[in-house]
Amino acid sequence: MTSSPSPLSRIHGCLAGGAAAEGVVLARTPDAREFMVPGEFGPREEDDGAIRLGAAGQLSLYTADALLEVLEWANAGVYADQSACVWLAFLRWARGQGIPLPSSAPPVPERWIDGQPAARRALPARPDWASSLAGGEMGTPARPLGTAFDDGAAAARSAPFGLVVGTPAEAVAAMAADGASLTHGHASAVHAAVAVALAVREIAEGSGVREATATTREGLPGARGAAPDVIAAVDAALDGVPLSEGSAAARTLHEALAASLAAEAAAASGAVLPEAFSAAIRRTAEAGPDAAAIAGALLGVHWGIDAVPALWRVRLDGEDIAVGLSTALAAASGAD
């Protein structure tokens, strides 16, 4: 039986695990089958060796930085609006991606993360949903932006919302819904993000993946009227059956949960944690990098940073950012 990871290890595992998982799958698309041979999953020799951050990896780090900013203000005795801090963090990300922001957008003073090359490195292709940020207006659950976007990108960046131990489930759900509504206003995308954040919260508090998933399922109907296909996705993952239909966000969530649950079962049967971790990401590969990012974050917070394959961590372009943010977030939240 493995020992319980420290809070710092869980935070680091979540951030680095999600980013690395997304990165290794992004490096292999569009044909994920070419790297499905066990033992050969990871950076290819013909690559430069680096695992690049994708949109989910970058924005997960920016989400963590926004939460860090809120905690820093709170520790100084000053209230800071969490939703606004996340929005401003996303605008800083957008600016780093070269996305023009209108004059109506608020000023976005730089923070430490903005000076880190990996966090600002331009993506190969700008996601369609980046248009939600380009307008310079803040989306909210009451007036969400990007209502046509039903993919899993918002869920793939939402894990950090559940990392601050002691935060009530209702607050975690609200933060995830607020964060998703900045770019993905489709109900399924919002509630998939809520599901990920709630699962991370439960795992960070000490639950296993299955227990956390079941608890998340119980809380979803009260999470602002959860979309039926998201509830069906969680049910199907718990039951070990395919998801017959649903939005892209629901399918992404289902694949990520199914892979994470299978990895937990494999570890319980004696599998070495980094091997179980990489097998889970291999399983999500054909579902896409968003599913991989979610599974990597869930297993990273469950098992801690040591479960993320060492080669992936060494080659992760942005591991230094994950280390810095994890250390600061653990200290600011009193979890170090």
Give pLDDT, residue 225.
Answer: 64
% of the chain beyond a pLDDT of 90 = 86
Residue 1 resides in a domain: no
Residue 221 resides in a domain: yes
pLDDT at 128 over 50: yes
pLDDT at 62 over 80: yes
- Residue 32 CA to residue 139 CA, distance in Å, equals 34
Segment 135-152, tens digit of pLDDT: 999 999 999 999 999 999
Segment 37-59, tens digit of pLDDT: 334 444 444 455 789 999 999 99
Give pLDDT, residue 139.
Answer: 96
Give pLDDT, residue 262.
Answer: 98
Domain span at residue 35 reads 7-136+144-332
Domain harbouring 185, CATH code: 1.10.4080.10
Residue 113 resides in a domain: yes
Segment 255-286, tens digit of pLDDT: 999 999 999 999 999 999 999 999 999 999 98
Residue 2 resides in a domain: no
Give pLDDT, residue 129.
Answer: 96
Residue 209 resides in a domain: yes
Domain count, the chain: 1
Residue 303 resides in a domain: yes
Name which of 196, 169, 174, 226 is nearest 290 in CA terms: 196
Residue 39 resides in a domain: yes
Mean pLDDT of 283-293: 95
Segment 148-198, tens digit of pLDDT: 999 999 999 999 999 999 999 999 999 999 999 999 999 999 999 999 999
Give pLDDT, residue 3.
Answer: 77
Q: Which of 170-174, 221-225, 234-238, 298-302 shows the lowest mean pLDDT across its residues?
A: 221-225
